[in-house]
Structure 1
Amino acid sequence: MVSIADYRGMREGYSCGYCGHPEGKYATGMWAHVMSAEDYQDLIDRGWRRSGKYVYKPTMHQTCCPQYTIRCHALDFLPNKTHKKVLKKMSKFLAKGDITKGLTDESTMDMNTLPDLLPVQDHLCPDLRDPNISTKEGLQEPSEAIASNQATKTFFGSESKVQKKRTPHPGVGVDPARPLCRKAKDIRRERKRQKLLHGQPEGLKVEPRSSTPSATATASNPPTQHPQAVNRQSKLLEEFISDQGGPDASHHLEVRLVPSSFENAAFETSFEQSAALFAKYQMAIHKDTASECSHDQFTRFLCDSPLEEEHRADGPSEGYGSFHEQFWLDGKLLAVGVLDILPRCLSSVYFYYDPDYSNLSLGVYSALREIALTKRMHHEATDIRHYYIGYYIHSCPKMRYKAQYRPADLLCPESYHWVQVEHCLPLLDKAKYSRFNTDLSAGDDDCPVSLDHVMVLYNRCAMPYNVYQQRWAHSKDEAEVREYASFVGQRCAERMLLYRG
């Protein structure tokens, strides 16, 4: 499959959906008439994303809210306490029909909105990922929980009498012969670590965790973890997801992965329900009007895709391309995750759900399901190892939740090298735009050095740019083609066809 792109250049000074600046957003874009999974994989590894068939790249040093490509190492993902709480809540709901109040998607809603209705060929579409993710709101702090447990034990335990406070003798401080007080959870972690160290195979090194990662740490060299620890945690995630409550469950949840194509029967028959759910979600959560979430808008942004379905012998059974992951609750469409399956990753595009079930934290739940799907696909296609969560926007607090899915990397906007998120966050605390790669000599490994082999499409004929230039090129063409090649990289420029009319 050959990709065909119509480059549109930079769009300057338009409204930002994250900070509300009326003229703060800058990005470069192109319309992709058709695109191979391999080309799109290379593009998102250079900071591009798609919205429908429009592929765009933020101008990082100019835009008001720099958008950094973020990826999670799905194979090494460890669910945190919030993730486990969401998984348990879903299991409880399916088994008993109970929705426990606490974490809700509405409390920290993503500020993404659909683009304004502008002419198709002149409109730049923002990323449509809506996390609907709460972080720690509604959770009891560990110190409060410990204090509550201690109070309960004191009242109901064997020592129900009022305890007298022991006043220290004057001049006597902490006994140096006794160890410092430690929290119970810290003691348990240390015991677990010592147990893993004691039982590790010879020659395997387990590096201790550090709150200040090395400046040279990159995604290609993540901290070594003990295989047993990773396996135990990963099984926990998969066990939670597979727990559907059994045959006597109050609710039945079915997840279907269908290609985003009207040629697919399952997609076509569910289109009306999916479009209606999208409109309900947009009007309730983002306060859109009915015209802003019409069938045409839904089709344009979440159904149309330049990626055509591709199947390879060494690829996943579903193939590569764009898909809708549909969540059906008791035969009714509950939520839909729009995603792309690419040669080295699963890329999330957007997620929408029934607002009546906000208490289930479906944004978090869907992300965990997609991480589990990435891990499952890795067994069929070993190159698929990462889960791309769209853009990380540090200047927008409601978009920082994406850094919770760790281990994770951010893409350096200058060298296009991956850097561990722990190293990037302190830099972003100082400035909203930052170069993450500390090696100042490192540059773009895929930077074009010549335009001679850039492929163009002219009068339905594919040819190298040097041939096109000799016969038909105008004076302004070279500057535009050079700009296009610098953004897409040499590899894509030599594979994709740049439409020239």
Structure 2
Amino acid sequence: MASVVEYKGPREGYRCGYCDAPEGKVSSGMWAHSMTVQDYQDLIDRGWRRSGKYVYKPVMNQTCCPQYTIRCRPLHFQPSKSHKKVLKKMFKYLSKGEFSKGNNEEEPMDSQMDDAGMHDFALKSKLDIKSDQRPLSEDCHEIKESKVKEKEDLEPKETKMLNKSHAKQEKLGSGEPSGSVKVVPSTPKPGKGADLSKPPCRKAKDIRKERKRQKLILKSQTDQVQHEEKPKLNQPKSIEDFIFDTLPDKSAHQLEVRLVPVSFEDPEFKSSFRQSLSLYAKYQMAIHKDTAAECGEAEFTRFLCSSPLEAENPPNGPDCGYGSFHQQYWLDGKIIAVGVIDVLPYCVSSVYLYYDPDYAFLSLGVYSALREIAFTRELHEKTSQLSYYYMGFYIHSCPKMRYKGQYRPSDLLCPETYVWVPIEQCLPALENSKYCRFNQDTKAVDEERIKELDRLRVLYKRTIMPYNIYKKRQKGPSDEAIVQQYADLVGQTCSERMLLFRS
């Protein structure tokens, strides 16, 4: 299976949807009749992006609003304060049916769920301490009794005998004061000496010291265990902790997220198509002010239901396989949002999101992005190389499009050398210039630049051939300039794998 593409060349002089410049947008494009997931992965790592089956790449140093490919690193992602606010808002709505009116971005953090969690932890701690103290008090009581017993056992026999003699003389005395009774101590009989078969006698003081030392050792070990467990309890909550927090038994709403392959042969996709189309039209007319004709069935199918990606299900791949999907958000039995995504060898790539404007108070754009980050982390557990979340283009020159930079850590793609650079290093340069080369190594070049154009593969008259053979069979004027342009944009590896259709 090979990708088949038809290069359309550069397109310029059309309206920009970001700055509204009437003729400011410039890009190169190609029509993908079919495409493998690996080829598309390599293309987006060179700044390409698809819209339906049309794959395009902005001409970065010419277009009015340079569009930099951005990717998030989900394995190290920690939700920000605003992200947590959105997740808590969704939980509150699902569990209680409550939502805040007004400007959602300005509402305070909802600490109710955190307080409840802290209360549960405090209660658990008190119960644990209480249960731990009971055996400890019993031990102390036993120690106290044993000390008394030891004191009695260790008392010298001579003293005991003397005391008994005193008591006897006082009890049987002849009327004289007990203090004047003369007692003639009997000489102890010679013994056989210490019994070497028994352990030597220990003083009560030494035994107390030993017991105290054992208690200190035990306390030290207990403190160490608690110290090791404490950081785990105090770790910041992960994105999964918020998303998959258990709802109460009688929650107000039920949310289900379904991953559906983009294929009319799939029964679930086919059965939900009409509802999904209706939602798309409602979204486009309310948010983007499209007319009904501009968001009809044909446009919807071309834009979001037609994909050039060939589905693949390799044994070492994710359970869902690779390809294009609709991630549907079902609330109480109806679709309220759809995230269009591509699952590729190294990433989940976000294509588009449309949602019901009636539920805008739930910040579904942010919520779906966080769900897709969590989904990427889930896929990574099965397929280790799949570890990035591509958010499309970052457009610094358009303030409304800077929100993607809030999902940290993230990287931007250098438009000249195609290496990834942390966004923190890129922002200072973007403040000074719309177009920037992010790679600070001035000697670095595009490692995938074309070295041998003759190895490029061509599909000509239903026959696959290298470009040097095609040139000999070609009739009419040479098309080497346009083929060279295509090869420079897709890189050496893709040019040797993909088939460039020539008529």
Match in the other structure for 1:25: 25
Q: How does 1:205-220 map to 2 (within 5 A)?
A: none
Match in the other structure for 2:429: 427
Match for 2:66: what amino acid? P
Q: Which of 319, 322, 327 matches 2:321?
A: 319
Question: CA separation in 2, counterparts of 1:237 and 1:25?
Answer: 37
Q: Does 1:304 align with 2:306?
A: yes
- Asked whether the equivalents of residues 258 and 325 of structure 1 are also in contact (C-alpha less than 8 Å), the reply is yes
Q: Does 1:94 align with 2:94?
A: yes
Q: Which of 102, 106, 110 matches 1:138?
A: 106
Percent of residue pairs identical: 61
Q: 1:60 to 1:301 in 2, by over 3 A?
A: same
Q: 1:357 to 1:315 in 2, by over 3 A?
A: same
Query: Gapped runs of 5+ residues in structure 1?
Result: 105-136, 142-198, 201-227
Match for 2:321: what amino acid? G
Shift of 1:248: 1.1
Match for 2:331: what amino acid? L
Question: CA separation in 2, counterparts of 1:326 and 1:13?
Answer: 36
- The count of residues paired between Structure 1 and Structure 2 equals 384
Match in the other structure for 1:249: 251
Shift of 1:246: 3.3
Q: How does 1:361-380 map to 2 (within 5 A)?
A: 361-380=363-382
Q: Does 1:455 align with 2:461?
A: no
Shift of 1:471: 1.7
Q: 1:5 to 1:103 in 2, by over 3 A?
A: farther
Q: Which of 466, 471, 478 matches 1:476?
A: 478
Match in the other structure for 2:411: 409
Match in the other structure for 1:181: none
- Asked whether the equivalents of residues 103 and 361 of structure 1 are also in contact (C-alpha less than 8 Å), the reply is no
- Deviation digits for residues 474-494 of structure 1, max 9, x if unmatched? 443111111000000000000
Match in the other structure for 1:36: 36
Aligned-partner SS, 1:334: strand
Shift of 1:376: 0.3
Aligned-partner SS, 1:456: strand
- Deviation digits for residues 204-256 of structure 1, max 9, x if unmatched? xxxxxxxxxxxxxxxxxxxxxxxx899944x5210111125233111000100
Aligned-partner SS, 2:425: helix
Question: CA separation in 1, counterparts of 2:402 and 2:476?
Answer: 45
- Deviation digits for residues 439-479 of structure 1, max 9, x if unmatched? 11001010011111100000111110011111225443111
Question: CA separation in 2, counterparts of 1:231 and 1:319?
Answer: 37
Question: CA separation in 2, counterparts of 1:416 and 1:231?
Answer: 40
Match for 2:261: what amino acid? P
Aligned-partner SS, 1:340: strand
Aligned-partner SS, 2:30: strand
Q: Does 1:63 align with 2:31?
A: no
Aligned-partner SS, 2:471: helix
Q: Which of 286, 301, 307 matches 1:284?
A: 286
- Asked whether the equivalents of residues 325 and 341 of structure 2 are also in contact (C-alpha less than 8 Å), the reply is yes
Q: 1:328 to 1:39 in 2, by over 3 A?
A: same
Question: CA separation in 1, counterparts of 2:3 and 2:387?
Answer: 24
Shift of 1:287: 1.0
Q: Which TM-score applies when normalising by structure 2?
A: 0.74
Match for 2:350: what amino acid? S
- Asked whether the equivalents of residues 94 and 254 of structure 2 are also in contact (C-alpha less than 8 Å), the reply is yes
Q: How does 1:43-192 map to 2 (within 5 A)?
A: 43-101=43-101, 104=104, 137-139=105-107
Shift of 1:308: 1.7
Match in the other structure for 1:132: none
Aligned-partner SS, 2:251: coil
- Asked whether the equivalents of residues 16 and 22 of structure 1 are also in contact (C-alpha less than 8 Å), the reply is yes
Question: CA separation in 2, counterparts of 1:426 and 1:81?
Answer: 24
Match in the other structure for 2:239: 237
Match in the other structure for 2:143: none
- Asked whether the equivalents of residues 376 and 388 of structure 2 are also in contact (C-alpha less than 8 Å), the reply is yes
- Asked whether the equivalents of residues 42 and 494 of structure 2 are also in contact (C-alpha less than 8 Å), the reply is yes
Aligned-partner SS, 1:333: strand
Question: CA separation in 2, counterparts of 1:232 and 1:483?
Answer: 51
- Asked whether the equivalents of residues 52 and 303 of structure 1 are also in contact (C-alpha less than 8 Å), the reply is yes
- Deviation digits for residues 85-130 of structure 1, max 9, x if unmatched? 00000000000001123554xxxxxxxxxxxxxxxxxxxxxxxxxx
Look at both structures and tell me which one has the larger radius of gyration over its CA atoms.
Answer: 2
Match in the other structure for 2:356: 354
Q: 1:259 to 1:232 in 2, by over 3 A?
A: farther
Question: CA separation in 2, counterparts of 1:68 and 1:314?
Answer: 31
- Asked whether the equivalents of residues 345 and 388 of structure 1 are also in contact (C-alpha less than 8 Å), the reply is yes
Q: Does 1:265 align with 2:233?
A: no
Match for 2:340: what amino acid? V
Aligned-partner SS, 2:304: helix
Question: CA separation in 2, counterparts of 1:72 and 1:268?
Answer: 32
Match for 1:487: what amino acid? L
Q: 1:38 to 1:229 in 2, by over 3 A?
A: farther
Match for 2:256: what amino acid? E
Query: Gapped runs of 5+ residues in structure 2?
Result: 110-226
Match in the other structure for 1:148: none
Question: CA separation in 2, counterparts of 1:486 and 1:420?
Answer: 25
Question: CA separation in 1, counterparts of 2:102 and 2:449?
Answer: 49
Q: 1:231 to 1:390 in 2, by over 3 A?
A: farther
- Asked whether the equivalents of residues 32 and 308 of structure 2 are also in contact (C-alpha less than 8 Å), the reply is yes
- Asked whether the equivalents of residues 70 and 412 of structure 2 are also in contact (C-alpha less than 8 Å), the reply is yes
Shift of 1:351: 0.3
- Deviation digits for residues 172-221 of structure 1, max 9, x if unmatched? xxxxxxxxxxxxxxxxxxxxxxxxxxx99xxxxxxxxxxxxxxxxxxxxx
Question: CA separation in 2, counterparts of 1:84 and 1:287?
Answer: 31
Aligned-partner SS, 1:335: strand
- Asked whether the equivalents of residues 244 and 253 of structure 1 are also in contact (C-alpha less than 8 Å), the reply is no
Question: CA separation in 1, counterparts of 2:465 and 2:427?
Answer: 44
- Asked whether the equivalents of residues 257 and 325 of structure 1 are also in contact (C-alpha less than 8 Å), the reply is yes
Question: CA separation in 2, counterparts of 1:256 and 1:404?
Answer: 26
Question: CA separation in 2, counterparts of 1:476 and 1:402?
Answer: 43
Match in the other structure for 1:157: none
User: How large is the Cα RMSD of the aligned pairs?
Assistant: 1.7
